[in-house]
Amino acid sequence: MDFQFQRTRCLQIPSMARLFRPSLVVLLEPTQWNRLREAVDHLIPGELGDIFVLSANVSQPSKFSAEHVAPGISQPEKPPFTPRPGVILLTDRAVSAEELGQLLHSGDSGRRKPVPVHIVSLGCDLPGDVALPEDTPPEAVGEVLRLLAKLARLRFMLGRRQHLVRRLKRAAFRDPLTGLLNRRAWPRVFRSVWQQAKRTHQQMVVALFDLDDFKSVNDILGHRRGDELLRNVGLAARQACRRSDYLFRWGGDEIALVCIIDPNVPAEPIVDRVREQLAIKIVDLDDKVLTASAGVTVISPHPLSTSGKPVAKIAEEMIQHADQALRRAKSMGGNTVCRFP
C-alpha cells in the first residue's frame, strides 16, 4: 500500500516545542472524521504537532493522500512524513503491520528507525492501546488523544534522558584527548576482567607504557603538537591491541593495558609488540623517533596466589608493580620492557 503526504508547518507552535509533540494520523471514514474533527482541533495548539488525515484514492483504492488540518501554510518537505516523537493512529479500519510500517516510513526509505506508535481503534478489530466503540462521543475521543499525547511526550523525553545519561557515562569514563578509558573506569574494568580471568582459568596482565623523552619533545614543539602526538599514540595503541583488551590513559603520556592471556603464553612478547607500535616518527624534529618503555606484571586469579585479598587491593598492587617495572625499564635507557618482579 502506498501513501502520499503533504506536510504543513504549524505556525502557532515554536519549532523546539513541536519536537516534543506527537504526530496524529487519522484514518477514518469521512463521516466519522467530520464528527470528531472539532474535538481534534482543540488539541492542535498544545498537545499535538502535525496532524495528517488519510483518505482513500477513488481511482486507486490502495493509495492514500493526506490533508494537513493544523493551521498554517502548506509547505511540502522531504521526507514528507517524519513522525516525532511518535505517532498516534486514530483509525476505524484494520491496518496490517506491513501497511502500518510503510505508513510510518513513507518517503523515508533511507532511515528505518522504529517509531513509537499508539493506536486508538474506533469500532474495528485492531490491537492497540485503546479500543473505543464506534459511537464514542467526540469529547471522550479528544480526552483519550490528549492522554496518549502526554504519554508519547513522556516516552520521548525519557528516551532523550536515557540517551544523554549514556553519553554522560561515556564521557565520564573516557579521556577526551585520546579516546581511551580514564582512571575512573579502572576499578570497574579491573573487576570485570578479573572475574573473566577467574572464570576461564587464565592469567591477568597489567602493563604501563610511557613515552621516552616526551617532555622535551612537548617543550620544543608546544602543547598543541604534543596533544596531537598523544592522539596518534592512543590510536596506535588501540590498533595494536585486541578487541578484548582495555586501554587507559593513566596520566600525562602514560598508557595502561589490562588483558587476559593463556597461562602458557609469556606476557613480555605481547606487551613488547604493543610497545613497538607506539613508536612515532616526528617529522618536525628531523624524523626523530619517539620510543616507549613498558613495565608489566602478571597474576593468576587463583585463591592461593591472591591470599584472599579484595579485588580493589589487588588492582592497586598490580598497577604499583607495573609502575615499578616501568621505572626499571626507564633506568635502563628506555625503549624496552621489564617485568615485575
* Tens digit of each residue's pLDDT (9 = 90 or more) over 242-253: 999 999 999 889
Q: Is residue 200 part of a domain?
A: yes
Sign of CA pseudo-dihedral 249, 250, 255, 261 = negative
> Nearest 5 degrees, angle CA 306-CA 312-CA 314?
30
Give the largest Cα separation in the chain, rounded: 90
Give the least confident one: 48-52, 75-79, 264-268. Answer: 75-79
Co-location of 15 and 139 in the same domain: yes
Inside any domain, residue 142: yes
Single residue among 111, 142, 170 that ends a domain in this structure: 170
Residue ranges with strand state E in 186-333: 203-211, 246-251, 254-261, 280-282, 288-290, 292-299
Q: Which three cell numbers, joined as nine digits, stand for 281?
A: 616518527
Say what the pLDDT of residue 313 is: 92
- Calculate Rg over the CA atoms of the chain: 31
Same domain flag for 13 and 133: yes
> How many other C-beta atoms are found inside a 10 Å radius of the C-beta of residue 62?
10
**pLDDT, position 56:** 47
**Could you tell me if 208 and 243 lie in one domain?**
yes
Does the residue 176 lie in any domain?
no
Both 242 and 109 in a single domain? no
CATH of the domain at 76: 3.40.50
Percent of the chain with pLDDT over 90: 36
Do both 163 and 191 map to the same domain?
no
The verdict on 133 and 217 lying in the same domain is: no
Indicate whether 315 belongs to any domain: yes
Which residues, in sequence order, are CB contacts of 269 under 8 Å at separation 6+?
none
For position 46, what pLDDT does the model report?
Answer: 67
Query: Nearest to residue 89, comparing CAs of 71, 74, 75, 103?
Result: 103
Give me the domain span that covers residue 192. Answer: 183-339
Cis preceding linkage at 79, omega within 30: yes
230 inside domain: yes
In this structure, the answer to whether residues 22 and 87 fall within a common structural domain is yes
Give the H/E segment covering residue 219: helix 214-221
**C-alpha angle 258/311/168, rounded to 5°?**
60
Residues 124 and 263 in one domain: no
Q: Is residue 175 part of a domain?
A: no
Identify whether 331 is part of a domain. yes
Q: Considering the entire predicted model, what is its pTM?
A: 0.62
Q: Among 136, 170, 204, give the residue marking a domain's end.
A: 170
Which of 256, 163, 157 is closest to 206 using CA atoms?
256
Q: How many domains does the chain have?
A: 2
In this structure, the answer to whether residues 40 and 69 fall within a common structural domain is: yes
Contacts of 255 (CB under 8 A, 6+ apart): 180, 208, 209, 210, 233, 234, 237, 247, 248, 249, 278
Q: Domain boundary at 114, 144, 170, which?
A: 170
- Name the packing angle between helices 223-240 and 214-221 (round to 10°): 140
pLDDT at position 4 over 70:
no
* Whether residues 122 and 229 fall in one domain: no
| Closest-CA residue to 18 (of 46, 41, 39, 60) | 46
Model confidence band, residue 114 (pLDDT cutoffs 50, 70, 90)? low
In the structure grid, which three cell numbers stand for residue 60, read together?
A: 486507486
Give the three cell numbers for residue 148: 496518549
